[in-house]
């Protein structure tokens, strides 16, 4: 695989890390903005001649993830979680309610899987802030979640480089599709598991 088509040298420059990290930061507040797919695609060309490097990509995604999380934390603190919950639509409110229950009952498991659940990042940030997490606790929450998310996204891309006899373009497509399918599967399984454990705990508490 090669990157001969990139005649600008942009993919090997520092700007690619800042720009891609910026997308991740903004996606904390505006979920439709692409974030995971960008780093999956970059991971698929990481280490190639004229391409970015895997470890800086992971660090850039982590930095963007944590900065975005902190922005959403302070936004909820300043404007209240209702601005990000019911007023944003019933689907988001349901996501926030579910995230709050999962976070209170199973904080560690939820932290590790929140980025894979639909609207999980935004709803988990809102839930953590509304639940009264201190800034220090929230930073730890964000650090762990961002690290898992970043290693997953870049790692999926890097793994496609070991597929023999495929072009750079096909590797990128395979990496993105694989990440979407695997992320969906992890999200579905983790949401099912957390909801099942939460429902069981609720039944036991009610006697």
Closest CA to 150 of 25, 48, 33: 25
Q: Does 4 map to a domain? A: no
Q: Tell me which of 62 and 89 has the higher pLDDT.
A: 62
How many structural domains is the chain composed of? Answer: 1
**pTM of the shown model:** 0.79
Q: Does 191 map to a domain? A: yes
d(CA 58, CA 114): 18
3-state secondary structure of 190: helix
d(CA 29, CA 67): 11
Q: Does 5 map to a domain? A: no
Q: Does 98 map to a domain? A: yes
Name the residue range of residue 35's domain.
10-205
d(CA 132, CA 88): 21
Structure tokens belonging to residue 170: 């096909």
Residues 129-171: tens digit of each pLDDT: 877 888 898 899 899 989 999 999 999 999 988 887 777 788 8
Closest CA to 160 of 14, 43, 72: 43
Q: Does 194 map to a domain? A: yes
Q: Does 3 map to a domain? A: no
């Amino acid at each position: 695989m090669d990157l001969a088509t990139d005649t600008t040298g942009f993919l090997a420059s520092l700007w690619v890390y800042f720009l891609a990290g910026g997308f991740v930061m903004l996606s904390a507040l505006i979920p439709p903005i692409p974030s995971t797919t960008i780093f999956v695609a970059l991971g698929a060309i990481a280490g190639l001649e004229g391409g970015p490097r895997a470890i800086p990509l992971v660090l850039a995604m982590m930095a963007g993830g944590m900065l975005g999380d902190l922005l959403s934390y302070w936004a909820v603190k300043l404007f209240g979680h209702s601005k990000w919950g019911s007023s944003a639509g019933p689907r988001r409110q349901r996501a926030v309610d579910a995230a709050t229950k999962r976070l209170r009952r199973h904080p560690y498991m939820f932290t590790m899987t929140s980025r894979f659940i639909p609207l999980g990042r935004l709803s988990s940030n809102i839930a953590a802030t509304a639940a009264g997490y201190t800034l220090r606790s929230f930073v730890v929450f964000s650090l762990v979640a961002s690290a898992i998310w970043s290693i997953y996204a870049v790692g999926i891309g890097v793994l496609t480089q070991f597929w023999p006899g495929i072009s750079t373009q096909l590797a990128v497509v395979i990496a993105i599709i694989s990440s979407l399918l695997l992320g969906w599967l992890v999200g579905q399984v983790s949401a099912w598991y957390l909801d099942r454990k939460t429902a069981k705990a609720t039944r036991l508490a009610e006697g």
